[in-house]
Chains A and B, each alone.
Chain A
């Protein structure tokens, strides 16, 4: 049996205060962008974030490393 909620992985970025860097703080699975926003806000509620955003993992394109979590997003034919 497949339950299939069609979830994708989202990387979560947040900034604690003005003037601070936007940092990668984690990742969540969600069946779409709207729920990704909710899940990220509810999952990573350990700080009062000034700013948080989510990026679908498939949108992250690695530049110098050919392995790692984003390797499958390398443009075709990359060597």
Chain B
């Protein structure tokens, strides 16, 4: 245990101090980074089965291979984050195999089915971009050295996933007809889904310590702006409509729908017409988890028993 207090550690960190091992963490720092890394690891892990089921709809063998390369990357990213947790005394075994599916910490967006190739590539364009928005901020600002270094590889690969999404979105947008209509339908449910992913607005944000310990640099609202500042122009350039625009007067992106609002996962439809709801109602929906929660979690762990039986 370190001999400094929480406040002394925060002051050191503000002066640029980097922690290099778990024994240098105070209890508050440890709690905050465990929450952050668990969300990160679970999100990487569950993106794999989500993309894997969607990759069945790949239009050719070549495209299926590139989709599978992305899935392999995601599993490596998950492994790296769980390994960092293990160095803090948290059991990867328990996290992956010992929890109920609803206890995983990935966002609600990764509890949704991706039913066709267009949904997979928009997931790359939107969800992977959210991932890189969050993780590149962590990479630039984190006070934990091992995480900062681990993210070099992760960010490189996320950039590739994002490009895969963009290239395919462009292709589908150029194709016109049914392909473009399908693409627009993806954008309609996945754009607000990603916006919600960034969480509570700053005005309502409960204190998590992640900013005090410099585990990240930007606030939720700032991250949402960063994501929109590349996503909105991309969609506009492809002739896709998105429920957000740049407001010259406020010098920021503004949503054109009530936020937050309710979602119908069966219809993949946001109930804009029902108006704004409370964040408590959003947390209620998140806690109830989405339609694919159990299927995704079980699909990453079902072969474990068989493999250990062969080996033991």
* B118 to A: closest C-beta gap in Å: 27
Residue B97 is within 8 A (CB to CB) of chain A in the complex: yes
Tell whether, in the assembled complex, residue A27 and residue B83 are in contact, meaning their CB atoms are under 8 Å apart: yes
By the criterion CB–CB under 8 Å, are B83 and A3 in contact? no
CB–CB B21/A68 < 8 A: yes
Across the interface, do B72 and A68 meet the contact criterion of CB distance under 8 Å?
no
CB-defined contacts of B304 to chain A, threshold 8 Å: 3
**A68 engages B23 (CB within 8 Å):** yes
* Cross-chain contact B156 with A46 (CB below 8 angstroms): yes
Segment 251-272 of B: residues with Cβ below 8 Å from A: none
Interface residues of A in 10-41 (CB under 8 A from B): 25-29, 31
The size of the chain B interface, using a CB distance under 8 A, is 25
CA distance A73 to B80 in the complex (A): 22
Contact call B21/A28, Cβ cutoff below 8 A: no
- In the complex, chain A residues whose CB is within 8 Å of the CB of B72: 42
Is there an interface contact between A43 and B93, defined as CB atoms closer than 8 Å?
no
Please tell me if the beta carbons of B79 and A43 are within 8 angstroms of each other in the complex.
Answer: yes
Tell me what chain B mostly uses at the interface: helix, strand, loop, or mixed: helix
Contacts of B76 in A (CB 8 A): 42-45
Q: Are A26 and B80 interface neighbours, CB within 8 A?
A: yes
Instruction: Give B223 Cβ to nearest chain A Cβ, in Å.
Output: 24
Contacts of B178 in A (CB 8 A): none
CB contact between A3 and one of B24, B93, B149 (< 8 Å): that residue: B93
Q: What residue in chain B is nearest A24 (Cβ atoms)? A: B149
Are B21's CB and A46's CB within 8 A? Answer: no
Chain B residues whose CB sits within 8 angstroms of the CB of A26 once the complex forms: 80, 149-150, 153
Q: Are B311 and A46 touching (Cβ within 8 A)? A: no
- The answer to whether A29 touches B312 (Cβ under 8 A) is no
A-contacting residues, B90-119, CB 8 Å: 92-93, 97
Tell me how far the C-beta of B16 lies from the nearest C-beta in chain A, rounded to whole angstroms: 20
Q: Closest CB of chain B to A28's CB: distance in Å?
A: 7
Residues of A close to B59: CB separation below 8 A:
none
Q: Report A59-77 CB contacts with B as 1/0, cut-off 8 Å.
A: 0000000011101000000
Closest chain A CB from B4 CB (angstroms): 14
Asked whether any CB of chain A lies closer than 8 Å to the CB of B20, the reply is yes
What are the residues of chain A within 8 A of B62 when measuring CB–CB?
none
On whether the beta carbons of A67 and B157 are closer than 8 Å, the reply is no
Contact of A29 among B21, B92, B97 (CB under 8 A): B92
Q: Is B87 an interface residue (CB 8 A)?
A: yes
Q: B23 contacts which chain A residues (CB < 8 A)?
A: 67-68, 71
B153 touches A25 (CB 8 A): yes
Is A55 in the interface zone, CB < 8 Å from B? no
In the complex, chain B residues whose CB is within 8 Å of the CB of A27: 83
In the bound complex, residues from chain B placing their C-beta under 8 Å from that of A53 are none
18 example contacts (A-B, Cβ-Cβ < 8 A) are as follows: A3-B97, A3-B304, A3-B305, A4-B312, A5-B308, A26-B80, A26-B150, A29-B79, A29-B83, A43-B76, A43-B79, A43-B80, A45-B76, A46-B157, A67-B21, A67-B24, A69-B21, A71-B23
Interface of B with A (CB < 8 Å)?
20-21, 23-24, 72, 76, 79-80, 83, 86-87, 92-93, 97, 149-150, 153, 156-157, 304-305, 307-308, 311-312
Binding site for B on A (CB under 8 A): 3-5, 9, 25-29, 31, 42-46, 67-69, 71
